[in-house]
Amino acid sequence: MLLRTTARAVRSTMMLSTRGNKSSSIKIENPSAAMLPYKGVDAAKKPVKVELTAGKSYFWCSCGHSATQPFCDGTHKRPGTTNVRPVKFSVEKSGNYLLCQCKQTENRPLCDGSHKNVPGKPRSVDASQAVMFGDSPVYEGVAYKLGYKPKSGGFH
């Protein structure tokens, strides 16, 4: 297993070609972040075209919480936010690159078309529907103590 992980790290430091941008390549500078099995939340369902400069280092947001997508703004550092870390990379040739914003790509930070398989609704939608307070005697007692009046079958 360790040998396989090491081989993956070596492969991820190799140059990765981008689709639609012939003879352009990137170099992952922190392979451990690029290999993490965790995927971030989708910031958008499509890639973004970004002009990158050769020799400059960039930090691609892999958690999906950054306000400066597709780049990292340090949001992942807040306690309890995520275990995912940004991918540090540089390009060998200046030009336009399609960077992933759905965070599900296997070719971090480049788009590989994974956004086509990301579900349309947010993950939190089901969680909010699973919690029902209306029929709970505890909720009714708390609402009554707070001074809420029953109206149309519920407290308002």
**What are 38-64's pLDDT values in tens digits?**
788 888 889 999 999 999 999 999 898
| Separation of alpha carbons 156 and 153, rounded Å | 10
The verdict on pTM exceeding 0.85 is no
pLDDT of 69 strictly over 90: yes
pLDDT recorded at residue 144: 65
User: Per-residue pLDDT tens for 134-147?
Assistant: 555 555 566 666 77
pLDDT of 22 strictly over 60: no
DSSP run (H or E) holding 51: strand 48-52
Burial group, residue 24, by CB count within 10 angstroms (0-12, 13-18, 19+): buried
Q: ω before 137 within 30° of 0 (cis)?
A: no
Write phi, then psi, for 151 (nearest 5 degrees).
-150, 125
Higher pLDDT, 59 or 17: 59
